Structure 1
């Protein structure tokens, strides 16, 4: 329930919770309805941030993941990119008192941008991909693969396959009611690991699945073990 990344051509996105007026409620709603403490702890465990890491966060929202990463490894270099000015303003305010190298940019993610002086070895995104069209899910994952160096990894926390009738019902009554069916259903059908493998990632896994009042949130990871072939 985060924001849309740009479609081909004219950028387009949704603000947190899909409506700008709801942005002030975003952190409260996510904490109350998604078991945020549980899935975020599992996500941080999978990312395993180290003090020497350069971490890029796609769709960084109001900065909650930045705070969690800093708490786990205060020395990390972190850049969060998000097209929503309101969300970025809140993220900057939330992290203003930290002694850190955390930085936020109001922008759409693109592999052509230099976010650090060297390519980040870890790229993360949470509660973003379920809101974007399949073509945009593909673009984001493919460009992450392009940007990562060999040995780098992608980490995703997002709505995954809703395999039980209860989780499908909860997902329909919450996420799909708010964000619509067209963009969210592919996630519920399990498209994310498929896209990761199609983009070239290896050792693609789903190390954790957390059931919540809004459906199952999955943790995904994949490694880049070789460069993409020319023209692919």
Structure 2
């Protein structure tokens, strides 16, 4: 049984030895065969391979002429994460360090060792109120607010941030390989400047909660 730490995952993007960039063979050696697979390796693939292990989901990139490697790790269905530790794959136990599905975005930010690596977006891709916490370029934690109207201009920051931090629910957690295009970069390249008014540093987000 592999023992990993959610706080380490937040800071390193790795679940112990399970890491972005690993080969399919390495993942099978560590975790065994997946519970479910979608897609298949090239040259027969109609879509890239995606493996499911309980709460852990793994997407593989398929560079031309090279073996597939882990594009991203995803922790999904956080409502199942509770208690001191939780088995997120048959061979992988995750120490939660007090985190659970209702943990606030600010709690994740405070658990990052280097606060200057943290940035926050206060809307989702469709401009609905939401929180996405980024740690560097490769780590992304999403929080949903539920049914809301979209916002086109940033409301008064202190009140908006406090409402989001108190009401948004943890939805998922991604860790990307640096060779791949994380959703943050894809968003910025597809819609240049559209999300900039809703972006702030981790320090400024925490300061807004205290303002």
Query: TM-score band (shorter)?
Result: under 0.3
TM-score, normalised on structure 2?
Answer: 0.26
Larger radius of gyration: 2
TM-score, normalised on structure 1?
Answer: 0.25
